[in-house]
Amino acid sequence: MTKMLKTLSALAVIAAVLVIVAVFVVKQQEPGDPMTGQPVFPELKTAINDVTELSVDTQSGTITLHRQEDIWRVKEKYDYPADLGTVRETLIGLAELTTLEPKTRKPELYEKLGLQDVEAEGSLSTGITLKDATDNTVAAAVIGNDRPAKGKSGYKELFIRKAGDPQTWLVEGRLTIEKNPGKWLDKELTQIETKRVRRLVVTHPDKTRLVVEKAKPTDLNYHVANLPDGLEIESQFTVNNVVSTVTSLSLDDVKPQNEVPFEDQPVRTAVFETFDGLQGTVQLLPKDEKNYVTISAVFNAGLVWKPEPEREAEPGKKSDPQAGEPSDVDVQDKEADTNPDQPRIKSEAEVKAEIEALNQRVGDWVYIIPKFRADALLKKPQDLLKTSVSAP
Query: What is the DSSP secondary structure assignment for residue 384, as one 8-state letter?
Result: G
pLDDT at 3: 47
Residue 278 has phi, psi (to 5 degrees) of -80, 130
- Mean pLDDT lowest among 13-17, 132-136, 174-178: 13-17
pLDDT at 23: 39
The pLDDT of residue 291 is above 80: yes
pTM: 0.78
pLDDT at 310: 59
Give residues with Cβ within 8 angstroms of 26, minimum separation 6. Answer: none
pLDDT at 230: 79
3-class SS at 31? coil
pLDDT at 338: 53
Stronger pLDDT, 51 or 316, i.e. the higher one = 51
Closest CA to 225 of 258, 201, 190: 201
Q: What is the mean pLDDT of residues 270-292?
A: 96
Stronger pLDDT, 8 or 297, i.e. the higher one = 297
pLDDT at 317: 52
The pLDDT of residue 339 is above 90: no
In contact, 190 and 247? CB cutoff 8 Å:
yes
DSSP 200-223: EEEE-TTS-EEEEE-SSTT----E
pLDDT at 315: 57
The pLDDT of residue 329 is above 60: no
The pLDDT of residue 12 is above 50: no
Across 34-43, 181-190, 300-309, which has the greatest mean pLDDT?
A: 181-190
The predicted-structure confidence for 215-255, as pLDDT tens digits, reads as follows: 999 999 999 998 877 788 899 999 999 999 999 999 999 99
The predicted-structure confidence for 48-65, as pLDDT tens digits, reads as follows: 999 999 999 999 999 999
Question: Where does the pLDDT of residue 320 fall: very low under 50, low under 70, confident under 90, or very high at 90 and above?
Answer: low
Give residues with Cβ within 8 angstroms of 132, minimum separation 6. Answer: 47, 50, 51, 52, 53, 138
Query: What is the DSSP secondary structure assignment for residue 149, as one 8-state letter?
Result: P
Supply angle C-alpha 149, 150, 152, rounded to 5: 70
The predicted-structure confidence for 154-194, as pLDDT tens digits, reads as follows: 899 999 999 999 999 999 999 999 999 999 999 999 999 99
The pLDDT of residue 19 is above 90: no
Q: What is the mean pLDDT of residues 76-84?
A: 96
Distance of alpha carbon 337 from alpha carbon 368, whole angstroms: 39
Give residues with Cβ within 8 angstroms of 116, minimum separation 6. Answer: 110, 122, 123, 124, 125, 142
- Mean pLDDT lowest among 116-125, 206-215, 322-331: 322-331
Across 24-33, 140-149, 343-352, which has the greatest mean pLDDT?
A: 140-149
Q: What is the mean pLDDT of residues 310-332?
A: 50
10 Å CB burial of residue 150 (0-12, 13-18, 19+) is: exposed
Q: What is the mean pLDDT of residues 56-77?
A: 95
**Alpha carbon of 25 to those of 20, 29, 31, 165, 217: distances in Å?**
9, 6, 12, 20, 73
